[in-house]
Each structure stands twice: as C-alpha cells, then as structure tokens.
C-alpha cells in the first residue's frame, strides 16, 4: 500500500471520523503535536544508555498510548467512529505516578529551579517534556473550542499528558545522574 | 504472524482471481480491514473479502506483471501456506444518517464486498472498471446495494445491457449526477481515482466525509 494519494495536496485532510478539515485545524494541530512528541520519545529512546531497560520499556508503552490518544483527538465526539477507538488503560496515569516516584527516590530533593540540559540524552528528554506541555496546551484549547468538553476520554488524556510531562522531567534528571552530570541550578 | 493454507483459487478474469484460505482460530477482523500476506520474504497488503464471521478467508488478488508475490499466489497449489499478519486498517463502515456512497475501481471493490457480506445496507455503490468483466461481484453487490452504478471507461462493447450503466470514470459519474448535499463517501481503488475523487468532493461537496484507501 502506498503512503501517498495526493488527496491532501490542496491543504485538506480527513479526520478518523471522515470530516475533511484544513491541515491547520485545531484537531490536526493537536494530534500533530502528539505525533511530534511520540517521535521525540523515539529519539530519546535511541540515545538511552545501554542496559537502561526500565525507561526503554516505559517509553515503548508511552509511545503506544500516544497512538491511542492521537486517534481520539482525530475523531469528532459525536461520530460513530468512536466505536472503533480504544480507551487508554484505566490506571495509565497512576502507573506513571509510580514510575515518577520510583525514579525520584534515587534523585536529590529539588530545592531550586534547574536549567534544562546536561548529557545529550537528558537534554533531549527536556525537549520532549516541553513538546509534551505544548500537547497539553493544544488539548485544553481543543476541549475549550470544540464540542469535546464532555468527552471523558479526552479528560483522561489531559491527565495523562500532565503526568507525562512530570515523568519526562524526572527522566531527564535521572539520566543526568546516571551519566554522572549534576543538576545545574538557575542563578539570577 | 499466522500461517494460513490455500483451499481453492477461482479466476474472475485474465488477471484477477479469488483465493480462499483456512481461518486461524485466534484471528479476528472488521469488514473492510486488510492483512499483509507474505511468502519467501515478499509481502503485500490484501483486503479480506469475507465477513468477520466467515469460516474461511477470501481475498481478491490481481496478478501484477512482474509482481513476485501475486505471481506466486496465482500458481501455488492448494495446501500451500503463506504468512498472514493481524488485521489492520481503518476503511471500516461507520453508521450514519447521511447518504452513503461506496466508490471502487479494480480490486478496490474488496472492502465493500466484505461490508455488504457483513450486513451493511442502504449504500449506493459506484463501481468502475474498463470492461464489464472487471465489475467483480456485480450481481451480489447489486442485490446488497440500494443503488448500483456500473461505470465502464473502456471502449463500448456491443450487446452490453446494464441497468444504470454510466459510460466513463466513477469521478465523471459523481461530477455529473450527484446532487448538492452532505454525504459519507468511502473510496477504495487506484491512487489516481482516490486523488481525483477527493479533490472533486472537497471542491463541490464541502462538508462531505471521506474515508479512503488506495491500492498501488
């Protein structure tokens, strides 16, 4: 099967629910940003140190969850196409919290702002965190301007993205520590 | 990855044939989905013709000139086995209160056969081919569709009498005959057809929903 048909050459694309919308439509922006985040996670994973299996495993799960989330964002809420979508696992945000706690347990307590950066893999994790925050902002906008306000699945995705940003922040710190680089604190 | 064995082959015209396989126990799908068939490292996607509750799996395959896999599938003996992936793809029917149009050319008719066999009704099918022999499953689809529009783009042949026959491409039929309105369109077939239909619908039928899948 070929990837291209040229159906989008004039600036429109199809949602999963079939509507044709301009490519700058808020829904496309929202799941496009999720795609960017997913790709960013792939890039971070590619730079993970050998043997760092726990975070690698986390990332694989998260990338799959982001696919599920993207499909929800690409579907208008009143469409019968929602019947083909898969909900995020019930405990997905709670599970992230457990991972945040586990990684935080081996890190020094944070008392000041830190500068994003350090080891390349950690620096990329910080970039992924900022992309994740943008995804969250897009989603809140989508929920505000579209008929998605009562969509409980989008509400669950919103929580998940909020937690995922925190997780990526902790991952960045954890990787810096693992690779022997201390947090660099902000100085006025 | 599943292993499935060929049960029988039936030629529909000089190039296209239907291949029937046994069905693995743990395989499920939705009408309109496709799988990847593989043999000796060659892979290609094919849409299931069968409805989801069928005991056997049927595929409509066109033998491509120089195509390694389609050539092999055209000649493998019954009992031979090939690899098959899980079902995938999203050209699946979404219930709607809008008029539904299925548009297909060539072997792109396969997902609509699966949908019709699974009980989808109330659709108009615009079915394109060069000659009448390329209107695969015409009789079954005429029975299932609310309206069946055959479109023949090849030279007119004497003695061809088809109800609602349109001479020309499927895009030409839609452009000339579809009244303004909001529709749900499902497109499957060649990339030029998908391309042209998509732009035609975007331009003349704004607000229409489009679901499509292109065959190479």
At residue B161, the pLDDT reads 81
Q: Which residues contact A173 (CB under 8 A, 6 or more apart)?
A: A103, A107, A110, A114, A122, A183
CB A80 to CB B201 under 8 A? no
> Which of A5, A17, A79 is best to mutate for the B interface (most B CBs within 10 A)?
A5
One DSSP character per residue, B8-77 reads EEEESSSSEEEEEEE--TT----TT-EEEEEETTEEEEEEB-S-TT-SEEEEEEE--TT-HHHHHHTTPP
Q: Is B90 on the interface with A (CB under 8 A)?
A: yes
Q: How large is the average pLDDT for residues A132-159?
A: 88
Whether residue A2 has pLDDT greater than 80? no
d(CA B48, CA B34): 6
pLDDT of the residue at A128: 98
Give the nearest partner residue to A5 out of B202, B207, B214, using CB atoms. Answer: B214
Two tokens at B104?
Answer: 């297909």
pLDDT confidence of residue B194 = 95
The 10s digit of each residue's pLDDT in A159-186 is 999 999 999 999 999 999 999 999 999 9
Give ∠ CA B82-B85-B91 in degrees, rounded to 5.
Answer: 120
The answer to whether B45 contacts A16, with C-beta atoms less than 8 Å apart, is no
Q: How many residue pairs bridge chain A and chain B with CB atoms within 8 Å of each other?
A: 62
Mean pLDDT of B34-48: 95
Q: Tell me the average pLDDT of chain A.
A: 93
Cβ distance of A2 and B194 shorter than 8 Å: no
ipTM of the complex: 0.75
Per-residue pLDDT tens digits for B68-115 = 999 999 999 999 999 999 999 999 999 999 999 999 998 999 999 999
Please indicate if any CB of chain A lies within 8 Å of the CB of B201.
yes
Q: Domain A13-76+88-178 carries which CATH code?
A: 1.20.1200.10
Question: Tell me: the pLDDT tens digits for A81-125?
Answer: 888 899 999 999 999 999 999 999 999 999 899 999 999 999 999
Question: What proportion of chain B, given as a percentage, has pLDDT over 70?
Answer: 100
Does residue B160 have a pLDDT over 80? no
**In the numeric block, which tokens belong to residue B144?**
């299932």
pLDDT for res A80: 87
Interface contact flag, B94 A81, Cβ < 8 Å: yes
Spatial distance between the Cα atoms of A7 and B195, rounded to a whole number of angstroms: 5
pLDDT mean over A63-82: 93
The CATH T-level fold of domain B100-215 is Rossmann fold (3.40.50)
Cα nearest neighbour of B215 on chain A:
A1
Question: B210: distance to nearest CA of chain A, Å?
Answer: 5
**Entry pTM:** 0.85
- Residue B30 has phi, psi (to 5 degrees) of -110, 145
pLDDT at A1 over 90: no
Q: Where are the domains of chain B?
A: 2-84, 100-215
* Average pLDDT score over chain B: 95
State whether A16 and B208 contact (CB < 8 Å).
no
* CATH number of the B2-84 domain: 2.40.30.10
């Amino acid at each position: 099967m070929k990837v291209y048909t040229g159906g989008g050459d004039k600036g429109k694309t199809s949602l999963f629910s079939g509507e044709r919308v301009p490519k700058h439509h808020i829904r496309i922006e929202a799941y496009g940003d999720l795609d960017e985040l997913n790709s960013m996670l792939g890039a971070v994973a590619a730079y993970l140190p050998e043997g760092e299996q726990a975070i690698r495993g986390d990332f694989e799960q998260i990338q799959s969850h982001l696919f599920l989330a993207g499909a929800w964002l690409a579907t208008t809420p009143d469409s019968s196409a929602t019947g083909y979508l898969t909900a995020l696992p019930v405990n997905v945000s709670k599970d992230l919290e457990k991972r945040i706690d586990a990684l935080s347990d081996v890190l020094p307590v944070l008392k000041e702002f830190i500068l994003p950066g350090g080891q390349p893999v950690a620096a990329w994790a910080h970039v992924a965190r900022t992309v994740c925050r943008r995804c969250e902002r897009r989603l809140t906008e989508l929920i505000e301007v579209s008929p998605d306000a009562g969509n409980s699945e989008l509400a669950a995705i919103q929580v998940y993205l909020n937690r995922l940003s925190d997780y990526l922040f902790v991952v960045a710190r954890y990787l810096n520590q693992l690779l022997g680089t201390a947090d660099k604190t902000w100085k006025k | 990855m599943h292993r499935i064995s060929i049960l029988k082959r039936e030629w529909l015209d000089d190039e296209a044939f239907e291949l029937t396989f046994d069905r693995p126990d743990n395989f499920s799908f939705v009408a309109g989905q496709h799988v990847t068939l593989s043999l000796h490292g060659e892979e290609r996607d094919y849409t299931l013709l069968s409805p989801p509750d069928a005991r056997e799996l049927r595929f409509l395959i066109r033998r491509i000139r120089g195509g390694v896999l389609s050539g092999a599938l055209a000649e493998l003996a019954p009992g031979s086995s090939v690899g098959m992936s899980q079902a995938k793809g999203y050209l699946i029917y979404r219930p709607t209160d809008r008029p539904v149009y299925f548009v297909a050319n060539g072997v792109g008719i396969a997902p609509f056969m699966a949908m019709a066999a699974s009980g989808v009704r109330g659709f108009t099918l615009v079915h394109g081919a060069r000659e009448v022999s390329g209107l695969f499953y015409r009789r079954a689809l005429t029975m299932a569709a609310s309206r069946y529009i055959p479109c023949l783009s090849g030279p007119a042949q004497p003695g061809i009498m088809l109800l609602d026959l349109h001479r020309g491409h499927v895009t030409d039929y839609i452009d000339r005959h579809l009244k303004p309105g909001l529709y749900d369109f499902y497109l499957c077939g060649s990339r030029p057809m998908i391309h042209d239909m998509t732009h035609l619908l975007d331009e003349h039928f704004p607000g229409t929903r489009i679901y499509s899948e292109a065959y190479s």
